[in-house]
Structure 1
Amino acid sequence: MSLVMLAATGAPVWAQSAATVQGTSTMTPTATAAASSNVTTLAPVQVYGVDATSTSPTFGYTAPVSSTATKTDTPIIETPQSISVITQDQMREQGAYTLNQILRYTSGVAPETRGAAATRLDQFNVRGFSATTYLDGLRVYGSRDALPQVDSYRLERVDVLKGPASVLYGQGGPGGTVNLTSKRPLDTTQREVELQLGDFDYRRANFDFTGPMDEEGKLLYRLTGSGYMSDGQLDDTKERRYYIAPAFTWRPSAATSFTLLANIQRDPHMGSYGGVPALRSLRRAPDGIKLDPSFYDGDAGYETSNRRHHSIGYELSHKFNDTFTAKSSARFTHAEGIYRTVYTNSSGSGYVDPDALFLRRNKGGVNAEYDAVVTDNNLQARFGTGAVQHTMIAGLDLQHQNSRTLNSAFDAAPSLDVLNPDYHMDIPDPTWTSFAKQRQYQTGLYLQDQLKIEKLSIVLGGRYDWARSVSDTKTLASGAVRHNPTTRSEAFTGRAGAIYNFDNGVAPYVSYSESFEPQSGFDVDNNPLDPVEGKQYEIGVKYQPVGSNAIFTAAGFDIRRQNLTATAPGCTPNQANCVVQTGEVRTRGMEFEARGEVARGLSVIGNYSFISNKYTKDNPNAQGVSRVGQRPYGVPKHQASLWTRYQLQDGALQGLGLAAGVRYLGASADDSGVLKVPDATLVDAAIDYDLGRMNPQFKGINVALNVTNLFDKEYVASCSSESWCWYGYQRSVRATLRYRW
Structure 2
Amino acid sequence: MLLPLPAMAMAQAAAGTPVPALAPILVQSTASALEPTSGYLAQESLTATKTDTPVIEIPQSISTVTQDQLRQQGATSLNQALRYTSGVTPENRGAVATRLDQFTVRGFSAASFLDGLRVFGSRDALPQVDAYRLERIDVLKGPSSVMFGQGGPGGIVNQISKRPLTERLNEIGLHVGNFDYRRLDADFSGPLDADKRFLYRVTGSAYLSDGQIDHTKERRYWIAPSFTWQPNRDTRLTILTNFQRDPDMGSYGGVPAMRALTVPADGYRLRAGFYDGDANYETSDRRHNLVGYQFEHRFSDALAWRSNGRLLHAEGIYRTVYADSSGTGFVDPGLTLMQRRRGGTNVEMDQVVLDNRLQADFATGALHHTALVGVDFAHLDSDTLGSSFDAAPPLDIFNPDYRQVIPEPNWISQTHQRQYQTGVYAQDQIKLDRLSVLLGGRYDWSRTMSDATTLATGVTRHTPQRAKAFTGRAGLIYNFDSGVAPYVSYSESFEPQSGTDRDGNPFDPTEGEQIEVGVKYQPRGTNALFTAAAFDVRRKNLLTAIPGCIGTGCQEQTGELRTRGLEFEARGELARGLTVIGNYSYIDNAYTRDNASSSSPSLVGKAPTGVPVHQASVWTRYELQDGPLAGLGMAAGVRYLGTSAGDPQNTFKVPAATLVDAALDLDLGRVSPDLKGMQVALNVSNLFNKEYFASCWSTSFCYYGYQRSVRASLRYRW
TM range (shorter): over 0.9
Paired residue for 2:613? 637
Cα displacement (A) at 1:23:
7.8
**CA-to-partner distance for each residue in 1:475-526, whole Å, 9 max, x for gaps?**
1122222212x10000000000000000010000000000000011111232
TM-score, normalised with respect to structure 1: 0.93
Deviates more, 1:346-355 or 1:610-619: 346-355
Q: Secondary structure at the match of 1:77?
A: helix
- Among 52, 57, 65, the residue aligned to 2:36: 57
Paired residue for 1:490? 468
Name the aligned partner's letter for residue 472 of structure 2.
Answer: G
Q: Which runs of 5+ in 1 are unaligned?
A: 5-18, 27-50
Query: How far, CA to CA, are the matches of 2:600 and 2:538 in structure 1?
Result: 24
Cα displacement (A) at 1:570:
2.5
Q: Equivalent residues in 2 for 1:475-624 (5 A)?
A: 475-484=454-463, 486-572=464-550, 575-623=551-599
Q: Secondary structure at the match of 2:669?
A: helix
Structure 1 residues 681 and 596: CA distance shift in structure 2, 3 A: same
2:662 is equivalent to residue 688 of structure 1: no
Paired residue for 1:36? none
Query: How far, CA to CA, are the matches of 2:170 and 2:630 in structure 1?
Result: 24
Paired residue for 1:738? 715
Paired residue for 1:389? 368
2:409 is equivalent to residue 430 of structure 1: yes
- Among 94, 98, 104, the residue aligned to 1:119: 98
TM-score, normalised with respect to structure 2: 0.96
Question: Contact 2:617 / 2:639 at 8 angstroms: preserved in 1?
Answer: yes
- Among 349, 354, 357, the residue aligned to 1:378: 357
Q: Equivalent residues in 2 for 1:32-71 (5 A)?
A: 53-71=32-50
Question: Contact 1:605 / 1:642 at 8 angstroms: preserved in 2?
Answer: yes
What root-mean-square deviation, in Å, do the aligned CA atoms of Structure 1 and Structure 2 show?
1.5
Cα displacement (A) at 1:672:
2.0
Query: How far, CA to CA, are the matches of 2:492 and 2:214 in structure 1?
Result: 44
Query: How far, CA to CA, are the matches of 2:301 and 2:650 in structure 1?
Result: 57
Paired residue for 1:410? 389
2:661 is equivalent to residue 678 of structure 1: no
Structure 1 residues 93 and 523: CA distance shift in structure 2, 3 A: same
Q: Secondary structure at the match of 2:33?
A: coil
Question: Contact 2:211 / 2:217 at 8 angstroms: preserved in 1?
Answer: yes
Query: How far, CA to CA, are the matches of 1:570 and 1:301 in structure 2?
Result: 46
Structure 1 residues 3 and 656: CA distance shift in structure 2, 3 A: farther
Paired residue for 1:193? 172
- Among 427, 431, 447, the residue aligned to 2:426: 447
Structure 1 residues 373 and 271: CA distance shift in structure 2, 3 A: same
**CA-to-partner distance for each residue in 1:592-650, whole Å, 9 max, x for gaps?**
00000001100000000000001000000233610101111100000000000000000
Query: How far, CA to CA, are the matches of 1:234 and 1:461 in structure 2?
Result: 47
Percent identical: 64
- Among 68, 80, 87, the residue aligned to 1:108: 87
Structure 1 residues 68 and 268: CA distance shift in structure 2, 3 A: same
* Number of positions where the alignment pairs a residue of Structure 1 with one of Structure 2: 699
Question: Contact 1:609 / 1:639 at 8 angstroms: preserved in 2?
Answer: yes
Paired residue for 1:660? 636
Paired residue for 1:282? 261
Question: Contact 1:611 / 1:636 at 8 angstroms: preserved in 2?
Answer: yes
Cα displacement (A) at 1:280:
1.3
Paired residue for 1:713? 690
Name the aligned partner's letter for residue 713 of structure 2.
Answer: T
Paired residue for 1:43? none
Query: How far, CA to CA, are the matches of 1:524 and 1:679 in structure 2?
Result: 43
Question: Contact 2:27 / 2:233 at 8 angstroms: preserved in 1?
Answer: no
Paired residue for 1:76? 55
Question: Contact 1:62 / 1:87 at 8 angstroms: preserved in 2?
Answer: yes
Query: How far, CA to CA, are the matches of 2:156 and 2:694 in structure 1?
Result: 23
Question: Contact 1:23 / 1:257 at 8 angstroms: preserved in 2?
Answer: no
Paired residue for 1:137? 116
Question: Contact 2:27 / 2:166 at 8 angstroms: preserved in 1?
Answer: no
Question: Contact 1:24 / 1:53 at 8 angstroms: preserved in 2?
Answer: no
Name the aligned partner's letter for residue 610 of structure 1.
Answer: Y
Question: Contact 2:26 / 2:197 at 8 angstroms: preserved in 1?
Answer: no
Name the aligned partner's letter for residue 502 of structure 2.
Answer: V
Cα displacement (A) at 1:342:
0.3
Question: Contact 2:109 / 2:154 at 8 angstroms: preserved in 1?
Answer: yes
Cα displacement (A) at 1:3:
9.9
Question: Contact 1:286 / 1:355 at 8 angstroms: preserved in 2?
Answer: no
Query: How far, CA to CA, are the matches of 2:264 and 2:667 in structure 1?
Result: 51
Query: How far, CA to CA, are the matches of 2:232 and 2:328 in structure 1?
Result: 66
Q: Secondary structure at the match of 1:105?
A: coil
Query: How far, CA to CA, are the matches of 1:641 and 1:623 in structure 2?
Result: 40
Q: Equivalent residues in 2 for 1:117-516 (5 A)?
A: 117-484=96-463, 486-516=464-494
Cα displacement (A) at 1:467:
0.1
Q: Secondary structure at the match of 1:104?
A: coil
